[in-house]
Amino acid sequence: MKKNIGKILGTGLLVVLLFSGCEQVDQEPLPQEEPVEPAYSLSTPVELTGLRLDGRGLLIRTDNAEYGNQLFPVELLDLLDHGHQPEEIRETPEGLVRFVWKGHPVELEPGTGWYALDEELREAPGPSFWTGGQLVLHGELLAALDEHLDWVDGGLLLRTPVPPQARPQEITALAFWEQPGIQMLINRDHPIPAELDGIELINLNRTYPDMRYLRESMLLNEEAATDLAAMVREAENSPGVDRMLLVSTYRSYNYQREVLNRRIARFMNEQGYDRERATAEARRIVAVPGTSEHQSGLAVDFTSYELTGRGQTLTGAFYDTPEGAWLLENSWRYGYILRYPADTEEITGIVEEAWHYRYVGRPHAGIITRESLVLETYMAKLQEQQVLWTEEDDGSRYLVMYLDEELASKTMLDPERVGVSDSNEGGLILTMVWADGRES
């Protein structure tokens, strides 16, 4: 780097002048000075002050006591899609920092705006820094490196492939805190209130009269119902599949209590168990009121006419029917997961149920199915990683974010483009279709 090389050469020349041709003389020691922070180092932290997620993209805002909103620590770039981060970062003996950005070599002089991209010397309007082995880059330098990044609205914007025509809405993410949503976790440790009467329920029998039902007036969440109808239609057009039969969808808190009490009575009457043992056994099979996914309006129990013709309804034999096999293989494409698979009772608290499917939406169902997760372990994954970028088999690309309360308070979003669900365990899950493969 020209500026840095001149600095290094100047220091060497000074040393030569001091020591060449001079006799050694006794000198009093120079007074010790307090250590000075190197010019390439940043003495005050850079803090994340806000996120904005809408049809334009993901905007990251920061603040620093010395340089305001101009600087971005490299670790914040983990929020961006893969490929929008520097790689192979290292410091040279000359005090420069080198890294690779999307295959292009970059070299910069910390503490200044000077940098080289593909060996072409350039200057950013402000400095970048190398502090304690951490790279902090100027926002406009980042925008110059990456065609998908813009320096706008006092922050760094990762643009979506097709920005919206109209100006998006902006609502604080905290407006959705503790509001029930599609991905919320429901189990014994994470109950829902008795007064939660489902989420935006519709009458399936009236809305989709071509589907087959065991009961009248079956209710389900509207979004879940739309994908359910598409899934059933596709299944019934598949070779070997007869007709899907819906057994149970939404149940109220009081109805769930009746279901549990009936199961307890059966264990007492048919097995001779005392109430304590009968209750314990019943709770392995039937969710306690307030912990049933059916109360949310997001769960569906299926069976087949083959099973009902044999006098069976909800049974593990559903796996062996064409209908059960098709659901196991394809339900994730429509946002549904098998909620209680084999060998997961210690995690879910419920024994294996071949018939019980839960709607979580795309892309969550695909991630859970591909990685052999259950909703509990998926939540743990989201909390740990906080940001997921994923692509579905139709080419659609999604951004999923998990926000704690502090980060939610710093986040603005457009609810027309961003799905929001309370996790029911102290967080928010944001879901955005970044690029719709079906429209490309």
Mean pLDDT, all residues of the chain: 89
81 versus 172: which is more confidently predicted? Answer: 172
Average pLDDT, integer, range 281-302? 92
Distance CA 249, CA 228 (A): 11
Least confident range from 34-48, 112-126, 328-342: namely 34-48
Helix (H, G, I), strand (E, B) or coil at 266: helix
Taking residues 337-348, what's their average pLDDT? 97
Domain borders along the chain are: 46-164, 175-251+292-439
What span, in angstroms and rounded, lies between the C-alpha atoms of 122 and 140? 12
- For residue 20, what pLDDT is reported? 36
Tell me the per-residue pLDDT of 365-375, one tens digit each, with 9 for 90 and over.
999 999 999 99
If pLDDT is split at 50, 70 and 90, which confidence band does 3 have? very low
Tokens (6 digits) for 261 = 């009490």
pLDDT at 40: 72
Q: Which residues of 106-132 are buried (b: 16+ CB within 10 A; e: fewer)?
A: bbbbbbbbbbbbeeeeeebeebbbbbe
Nearest to 196 by CA among 429, 424, 355: 424
Tens-place pLDDT, residues 266-276: 999 999 999 99
Mean pLDDT of 353-365: 98
d(CA 174, CA 403): 10
Residue keyed to tokens 């989420």 = 199
3-state class (DSSP) for residue 30: coil
Q: Is 43 left (phi over 0), alpha (psi -120 to 50) or beta?
A: alpha
Look at residue 16 in the predicted model and tell me its pLDDT: 29
Q: Is the pLDDT at 298 greater than 90, yes or no?
A: yes
Q: Does domain 46-164 have CATH number 3.30.565.10?
A: no
Largest CA distance in the chain: 110
Average pLDDT score over residue span 327-343: 98
Tell me if residue 353 is catalytic.
yes
pLDDT band at 155 (very low <50, low <70, confident <90, very high): very high
Contacts of 250 (CB under 8 A, 6+ apart): 198, 201, 218, 219, 220, 294, 295, 296, 297
Dist CA 286 CA 128 (whole Å): 59
Dihedral, CA of residue 144, residue 147, residue 152 and residue 154, to nearest 10: -50
**How big is the chain, counted in residues?**
440
* Statement: residue 7 has pLDDT above 60: no
How do residues 203-258 score in pLDDT, each as one tens digit? 999 999 999 999 999 999 999 999 999 999 999 999 999 899 999 999 999 988 99
Q: Tell me which residue of 107, 133, 146, 99 sits closest to 3, measured CA to CA.
A: 107
The model carries a pTM of: 0.86
Res. 38 pLDDT band, cuts 50 70 90: low
Q: What is the DSSP letter of 294?
A: G
What amino acid occupies position 121?
L
Beta strands in 55-170 (DSSP E): 57-64, 71-73, 87-91, 97-101, 104-108, 114-117, 120-123, 129-131, 134-138, 149-152, 155-159
Which pLDDT value is given to residue 32? 57
6 confidence band (pLDDT: 50, 70, 90): very low
CATH annotation of 175-251+292-439: 3.30.1380.10
pLDDT of residue 15: 28
Report the pLDDT value the prediction gives residue 165, as an integer from 0 to 100.
74
For 80-108, what is each residue's pLDDT tens digit?
A: 987 888 999 999 999 999 999 999 999 99
Residue 111 pLDDT > 60: yes
For the chain, count helices (H), then strands (E).
12, 25
The per-residue pLDDT for 164 is 81
Q: From the candidates 109, 306, 353, 392, give the one annotated as an active-site residue.
A: 353
